[in-house]
């Protein structure tokens, strides 16, 4: 049975798995306003809204120029001053389960401060004839812009979080990642990142303001809104409060890029009363049949010590007790197996039993500047750190009096998953860790 010892082999397996599960990307809407239009159609193409609406053309309006669309309001009161709406009320096709939306815009003028000056909505069954705010029952998610005296903030309505104040005339890119699927999703940010480091779980959304993750895994379906398979089918921008001008230079709506299902997200071993309790958590159990747990000591093959039946739901926790751990280091593996007998995912962990020589990072996740390793005698000069592309990272280290190795990367490292290799008993081993 494979023991997953060699790091290059791990990389190959990861890349092969990624290639199998990444789905073809669907582009639902893309527009940079550089062409001559038309920008609206009752049967919209990929670059068109289904409706552009103003309730008072003199005081609330939209204008197009080379490379931009302006939404303008000249009077504060929404009843007499009117509103302006840009929407896709014709459902996206095929029906999306996930969306990755990027908008680039600038606030060019603020004539009057206003809370929720401009709204962004994602939901279903938006009406082009009823200009009331969409009911919560229709929405998956929403956020807004709050106008201040000479700046503005991005305001997430569900969590109440605000961005830092943003200046006028400066381009801002918002990235809105929404998941209406039954599976957790991993996505790339930026989209050309080497690996997908960020996740959004079912019924959740993330909101980025430029490169800052402003809202992380927030609950969708506001108020009394219920799940619907078409909850990501309509999109709207609505300027209804305040006075000013907002200029949009690009809009792209597609499904989540670099989609990878999350399966086993945690696997750990804990001592207690002479036994080892194995604990693991999953993001996806759907289509799973069981979990197979194996154990080995140094220089031995894995032997199965138990099976646990999968519950078939999302976000489950499992446990199994090893009643007879061996002296020294015990290595454990959990494999998630589908109904056809194929391994979907696997994780490994280890625990020293009967010896005070556990190898671990503390804390984990670690900071990008300092990685502390409890080494129990492992030689720091033989340690290496790799990213998931297999590239080794340069670092400096020193060992404290209590045996903790302090590692400081020579170059700035980004957040994500890394692998630390170390040598023990003449065997090279690997430990995965997360940089915040």
Q: Which of 76-80, 152-156, 420-424 has maximum average pLDDT?
A: 152-156
pLDDT score of 261: 52
Torsion sign (Cα): 232, 238, 244, 245? positive
Residues 196 and 343 in one domain: no
Instruction: Please say whether the beta carbons of 423 and 378 come within 8 A.
Output: yes
Residues 235 and 91 in one domain: yes
From residue 410, how far is each of 89, 193, 368, 393, 407 by CA, in Å? 51, 21, 10, 8, 9
Torsion sign (Cα): 367, 178, 78, 171? positive
Residues 245 and 295 in one domain: no
DSSP 135: P
pLDDT score of 224: 80
Residues 276 and 343 in one domain: yes
Supply the mean pLDDT for the chain.
Answer: 85
Strands (E), 38-171: 51-54, 60-65, 68-73, 84-88, 98-112, 114-123, 139-147, 151-156, 166-167
Instruction: Please say whether the beta carbons of 115 and 82 come within 8 A.
Output: no
pLDDT at 230 over 50: yes
Residues 332 and 376 in one domain: no
Residues 44 and 12 in one domain: no
Place of tokens 């998630």: 336
Q: Which two tokens stand for residue 65?
A: 């120029």
User: How many angstroms separate the CA atoms of 281 and 317, rounded?
Assistant: 4
Q: Which two tokens stand for residue 275?
A: 């036994």
- Domain edge (last residue) among 212, 233, 254: 254
pLDDT score of 428: 66
Number of domains in the chain: 3
Query: Which domain, by its residues, includes 56?
Result: 24-254
Band of residue 359 on the pLDDT scale cut at 50, 70, 90: low
User: How many angstroms separate the CA atoms of 180 and 225, rounded?
Assistant: 13
CATH code, domain carrying 13: 2.60.40.10
Residues 322 and 393 in one domain: no
Q: Which two tokens stand for residue 248?
A: 């949009």
Q: What is the mean pLDDT of residues 76-105?
A: 94
More confident residue, 193 or 416: 416
Band of residue 21 on the pLDDT scale cut at 50, 70, 90: very low
User: How many angstroms separate the CA atoms of 20 and 151, rounded?
Assistant: 46
Residue-wise pLDDT for 314-336, tens only, equals 678 899 999 888 877 888 999 88
Q: Helices H, strands E: what count in the chain?
A: 2, 32
User: How many angstroms separate the CA atoms of 26 and 98, rounded?
Assistant: 10
Instruction: Please say whether the beta carbons of 294 and 333 come within 8 A.
Output: yes
Q: What is the mean pLDDT of residues 358-375?
A: 77
Residues 347 and 240 in one domain: no
Residues 202 and 329 in one domain: no
User: How many angstroms separate the CA atoms of 399 and 397, rounded?
Assistant: 7
pLDDT at 139 over 50: yes
pLDDT at 73 over 50: yes
CATH code, domain carrying 237: 2.60.120.560
Residues 210 and 282 in one domain: no
Q: Is 67 left (phi over 0), alpha (psi -120 to 50) or beta?
A: left
Q: Which two tokens stand for residue 52?
A: 């552009």
Residue-wise pLDDT for 377-421, tens only, equals 566 777 888 887 778 889 988 887 666 788 899 998 888 888 888
Instruction: 395-402: list long-range contacts, CB under 8 Å, 24+ apart.
Output: 395/371, 399/375
Residues 8 and 133 in one domain: no
User: How many angstroms separate the CA atoms of 311 and 95, rounded?
Assistant: 28
From residue 155, how far is each of 86, 191, 207 by CA, in Å? 19, 23, 10
pLDDT at 22 over 50: no
Residue-wise pLDDT for 203-229, tens only, equals 999 999 999 999 999 999 998 889 999
């Amino acid at each position: 049975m494979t023991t997953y010892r060699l790091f290059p082999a791990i990389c190959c397996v990861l890349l092969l798995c990624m290639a199998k599960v990444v789905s073809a990307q669907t582009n639902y809407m893309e527009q940079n306003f550089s062409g001559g239009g038309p920008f609206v159609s009752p049967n919209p193409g990929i670059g068109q809204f289904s409706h552009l609406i103003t309730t008072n053309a003199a005081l609330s309006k939209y204008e197009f120029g080379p490379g931009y669309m302006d939404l303008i309001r000249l009077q504060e009161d929404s009843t007499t001053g009117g509103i302006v709406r840009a929407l896709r009320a014709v459902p996206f096709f095929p029906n999306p389960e996930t969306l990755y939306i990027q908008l680039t815009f600038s606030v060019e003028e603020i004539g009057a401060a206003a809370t929720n000056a401009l709204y962004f909505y994602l939901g279903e069954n938006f009406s082009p004839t009823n200009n009331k705010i969409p009911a919560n029952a229709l929405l998956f998610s929403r956020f807004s812009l709050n106008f201040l005296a000479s700046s503005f903030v991005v305001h997430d309505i569900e969590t109440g979080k605000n961005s830092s104040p943003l200046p006028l005339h400066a381009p801002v890119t918002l990235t809105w990642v929404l998941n209406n699927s039954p599976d957790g999703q991993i996505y790339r940010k930026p989209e050309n990142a080497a690996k997908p480091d960020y996740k959004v779980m079912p019924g959740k959304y993330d909101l980025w303001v430029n490169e800052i993750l402003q809202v992380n895994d927030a609950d969708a379906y506001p108020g009394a809104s219920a799940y619907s398979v078409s909850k990501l089918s309509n999109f709207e921008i609505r300027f209804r409060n305040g006075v000013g001008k907002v200029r949009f230079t690009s809009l792209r709506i597609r499904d989540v890029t670099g989609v990878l299902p999350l399966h086993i997200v945690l696997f750990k071993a804990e001592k207690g009363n002479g036994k080892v309790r194995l604990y693991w958590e999953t993001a996806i159990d759907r289509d799973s049949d069981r979990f197979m747990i194996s154990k080995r000591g140094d220089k031995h093959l894995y032997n199965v010590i138990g099976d646990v039946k999968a519950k078939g739901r999302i976000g489950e926790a499992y446990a199994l007790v090893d009643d007879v751990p061996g002296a020294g280091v015990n290595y454990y593996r959990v494999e998630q197996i589908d109904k056809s007998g194929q391994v979907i995912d696997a994780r490994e962990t280890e625990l020293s039993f009967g010896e005070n020589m556990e190898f671990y990072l503390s804390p984990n996740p670690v900071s990008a500047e300092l990685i502390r390793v409890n080494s129990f005698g492992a030689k720091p000069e033989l340690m290496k750190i790799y990213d998931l592309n297999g590239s080794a990272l340069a670092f400096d280290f020193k060992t404290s009096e209590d045996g903790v190795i302090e590692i400081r990367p020579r170059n700035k490292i980004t957040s994500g998953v890394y692998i630390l290799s170390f040598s023990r008993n003449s065997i090279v081993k690997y430990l995965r860790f997360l940089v915040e």
